[in-house]
Amino acid sequence: MSYVQVANLDFTEIKSSLKEYLRSNSDFTDYDFEGSTLSTLLDVLAYNTYYTAFNANMVVNEAFLESATLRDNVVSLAKQIGYLPKSSVSPTAVIDIAADFSTQQNIPEIVKLPRGSQFLTRINGTTYSFITAKDYVVGLNTQSIANFSGVEIKEGNYVLETFTFNAGVPQRFILQNPGIDTSSLKVTIRPTFSSTSVVEYRLADNIIGYDGTSQVYFLQEGEDERYEIIFGDGILGSKLDTNNYIEVSYITTNGDAANNAKVFSYGAVLEDSTGASDYAPTVSLVTTTAASGGETLESIDSVKRNAPKFFNAQNRAVTADDYESIIRRIFPAIADIVCYGGEDASPPEYGKVKIVIKPSYSAKLSQYTKNLISTDLKKYAVVSVTPEIIDPSITYVELQSNVYYNKSKTTLNESELKAAVVSSLTKYRSTSDLEKFNGRFKYSRIVGIIDATDDAITSNETSIKLRKDFTPVLNTITQYEVCYQNVVKSGCTASAVQSSGFVVADYPADVVYLADDQVGNVYLYKIDSTTQNRFILNSQQGTIDYEKGEVMLNRLNIIKGTYDDERIELRVTPSNKDIYAYREAYLSLDLQSSVFLITQEALI
């Protein structure tokens, strides 16, 4: 057979190549290759070649981490470089419990809140169960009250699986439930089913420091998103004996569904030192830290992105990139993260690495979560470098858009057109350079997306504002600095700065606001209830550097905000319509606070 070009394996090209070959063969002289019979046979041959080529291409693609698309293959390739995809993670809340036993006939001296005690919460009509991951034991005070402080509760339910080891046959220990939080795994071994002695095995996340007597197990993700436990072979990890009885307990979770849960109902049973639980104390709960940190199983794209970075880090945190890859592994509920050396901070802080995390479920991390991450990082950090987790500086971009449309070109009403515009911008937000550190807001893209939402939309006039939120230190004279990292508009008659309302100690009966005078001063004012005019209370409350986009507020004693969380919103009008965020600044398009006015185009 003569040489055939195989660069193009399209069906029509394959069929054409087959025809060309047959025409050049003397055995098929004067044959009609366009006839139905031969054409059908050529179709069969071309389809067979096409499918074979396609399957071969897919097989090769699945052999490389970068191009693989099937989860089992991606996980297997990541395993070759020592990467274990992060499991689902249970949201964790912290509560304080006060149990009053003063009305009980028999008052115990010590009470225990057992592991697995249940608390319920309800989010968007769905009930979620939270449980304790360990026992909590306290004594009663002189008022017969048991105070449990700092009780950690995790969303999910406990599951127990058991296995009996048989050295004579090949055996795999695959956990059957999806949605396992692997951090809750507890593996215990008994010599036999009837034995009372129990040994707890620990998870080994590397091979350093272990030998043939180490009571450890290894973990890997197997087929269909199920985890598999692997025990030692007597060289690396202790080898099990026949009839050893294995118990594996863990929490199955709904991932991020219960993040931000704050209100819990008590459904547990308290026990005394003898195990008796026939008590009915009066119980009150206080949530000190709302549920946070919940996350679903690590996605395929995340595994493909993080596995090479984790391999480069070699299980130690030295560079800023090392910290980023390790933190993504130990705390997956991250929308974005940026790490940089303290020498790049302002002012410089040598010997530190700054870690800025924007969680996927809220604007910032709770102090509780920061402490957990800092504790985990100690296993990887070098002695000479101190990691410091700081809150992101979120810059919200708000739109004020007048959208004009031709009524004769659409059956949608104005509310439906508005919903379509918001939907288009929401899709763009999730795929653009927004919602990330070092993000960019491109004004022309936004205007174009609004116009392209529907054929009936003829044009739009859109302006933007930048907003920063800060939580004041109440009842304390404090100086505040708010940085926008973008040039603020100046030299106009209207103020470029505008705040939400709040109450200060000097004027407790009034709601006051902040604005600028367009020459660099920020003043405090209230609104006259009769004339609606501004009445200036302090013309030198602060300053604004328009070029740097920095607002300084001097000696403010705020006693109350107008929002439930006491936050103060400070808006500015930028000089440029393209917005940039640098380093710890996180850029977010706030469509909920944006205003869209849909107006029928005037006919001429």
pLDDT tens, residue by residue, 288-308:
999 998 999 999 998 998 888
Same domain, 531 and 595: yes
Residue 104 located in a structural domain: yes
Indicate whether 402 pLDDT > 60.
yes
| Average pLDDT estimate for 146-153 | 94
Same domain, 442 and 581: yes
Q: pLDDT by residue (tens digit) across 310-359? A: 888 777 888 888 898 889 888 888 889 999 988 888 788 888 999 999 99
What's the pLDDT at 593? 94
What band does 279 get if pLDDT is binned at 50, 70 and 90? Answer: confident
Q: pLDDT by residue (tens digit) across 364-385? A: 888 888 998 999 898 888 888 8
| Average pLDDT estimate for 495-516 | 94
Rounded to the nearest 10 degrees, the angle between the axes of helix 414-431 and helix 443-452 is 140
Q: Which three-class secondary structure state does DSSP give residue 207?
A: coil
Same domain, 416 and 527: yes
Best CA proximity match to 456, nearest among 400, 428, 414, 402: 414
Residue 81 located in a structural domain: no
What's the pLDDT at 450? 96
What's the pLDDT at 603? 64
Instruction: Give the end of a domain, one of 252, 270, 302.
Output: 252
Indicate whether 5 pLDDT > 60.
no
pTM: 0.71
Residue 77 located in a structural domain: no
Phi/psi region, residue 129 (left: phi>0; alpha: psi -120 to 50; beta: rest), is: beta
Same domain, 333 and 210: no
- What six digits make up the tokens of 508? 């407790």
What band does 489 get if pLDDT is binned at 50, 70 and 90? Answer: very high
Same domain, 284 and 189: no
Rounded to the nearest 10 degrees, the angle between the axes of helix 300-313 and helix 71-79 is 10
Residue 71 located in a structural domain: no
Same domain, 525 and 540: yes
Residues 363-388 as b/e (b if ≥16 CB within 10 A, e otherwise) read ebbbebbbebbeeebeebbeeebebe
Average model confidence (pLDDT) for the chain? 89
Residue 80 located in a structural domain: no
* Residue span of the structural domain in which 127 resides: 92-156+256-292
Residue 322 located in a structural domain: yes
Q: pLDDT by residue (tens digit) across 529-578? A: 888 899 999 999 999 999 999 999 999 999 999 888 899 999 999 999 99
High-pLDDT (> 90) share of the chain, %: 59
Phi/psi region, residue 236 (left: phi>0; alpha: psi -120 to 50; beta: rest), is: beta
- What six digits make up the tokens of 4? 């055939």
Same domain, 551 and 443: yes
Q: What are the residues whose beta carbons fall under 8 Å from the beta carbon of 362, sequence distance 6 or more?
A: 259, 260, 292
Q: Residue 305: beta bridge partners?
A: none
| Separation of alpha carbons 451 and 421, rounded Å | 9
Indicate whether 3 pLDDT > 60.
no
Q: pLDDT by residue (tens digit) across 65-101? A: 989 989 999 999 999 988 899 999 999 999 999 999 9
Same domain, 45 and 130: no
High-pLDDT (> 70) share of the chain, %: 97
Residue 299 located in a structural domain: no
What's the pLDDT at 2? 52
Biggest CA–CA distance in the chain, Å, is 110
| Separation of alpha carbons 191 and 186, rounded Å | 17
What band does 604 get if pLDDT is binned at 50, 70 and 90? Answer: low
Indicate whether 13 pLDDT > 60.
yes
What's the pLDDT at 434? 87
What band does 508 get if pLDDT is binned at 50, 70 and 90? Answer: very high
Number of structural domains (the chain) is: 5
